[in-house]
Amino acid sequence: MNHSKPKRSLPKGAWDCHAHVFGPYEVFPLAAQRSYTPPEATLEAYLAMFDHVGVTHGVLVHPSAYGANHEAMLDALKRSPKRLRGIGVLGPDASDSELEHMHSHGVRGLRFTEIGGAGKPQRFVGSVGFDAVPLLASRMKALGWHAQVWAALATVVAALPALTAHGVPVVIDHLGQVDVSKGVSDPAFQQLLGLLGEGNVWVKLTPARNSKQFPDYGDVRPFHDALINKNPHRLIWGSDWPHLNMGELAPDVGHLLDLLDDWVADDELRERILVKNPAALYGVSQPR
């Protein structure tokens, strides 16, 4: 889709903290066993969108459709090392040399998933579950990596004591995968707010997959507001490009950034979420 330019320019050094790249498939074929088959979404296409909306840095998340093969993401990181960081997907059997190789290419964390397509409880084929975090934590901590987690909110908050016990930062995907029908008083969401307030977790502000009110996502805003009011120092923003399996509900990235601007309505806070927080989390110096 064609993405609009944000109505206001982004602050210098802005980050998009969640995206995926696929292909070209003649070079980087998908895994034979996978839960979905996405269209190609190349690095060139991502960077074109990236530049169009005014983003400076991005984070590529390794998608499960590639299984354990990280070549597509690592190639993208190698080709744009000053602008991109990566999140891998590895199990406890990964070797130290594999982790070190990925770190040298700009990988700064691993993703752990307890969710499947269309919100199904089984994991996507090619993903790694929460049970792997304790087994990898010491090596992740030594590298300065974090654990990025994706699951239904109740699953996330139930697992968080164990996930945070090892001293590895935890980043929660997709606004905590909140159920908007339960409202902000939902006990699971209140637990999340408590942990966020204590600084124990980070939350990624990617509202589109939680909303039933495309394209302005008004049903998500109360949750977004509550997170910002609780602890804006632990929030980051992501486009979720190329919006896998969303079809006609795929968002316009420029509009997503306009919504963030409207919902935050404070330049210093906008810069914190788009620039300062991700620079600290992903280990890149802020622009001067």
- Tell me the two tokens of residue 89: 């997907």
* 4: Cβ contacts below 8 Å, ≥ 6 apart: 252, 253, 254, 255
Classify burial at 148, counting beta carbons within 10 Å of its beta carbon; exposed 0-12, middle 13-18, buried 19 or more: buried
| Burial per residue of 51-74, b for 16 or more beta-carbon CB atoms within 10 angstroms, e otherwise | eebbbbbbbbbbbbbbbbebebbb
Are 116 and 150 within 8 A, CB to CB? no
- C-alpha distances in angstroms, 70 versus 20, 47, 83, 99, 144? 12, 19, 18, 12, 20
Burial class from Cβ neighbours inside 10 Å (0-12, 13-18, 19+) for residue 3 reads: buried
> Do 57 and 86 contact (CB within 8 A), yes or no?
no
**Nearest 10 degrees: Cα torsion 32, 37, 39, 40:** -30
Catalytic residue among 75, 219, 225, 240: 240
262 as an active site residue: the answer is: no
Q: Known catalytic residues?
A: 240
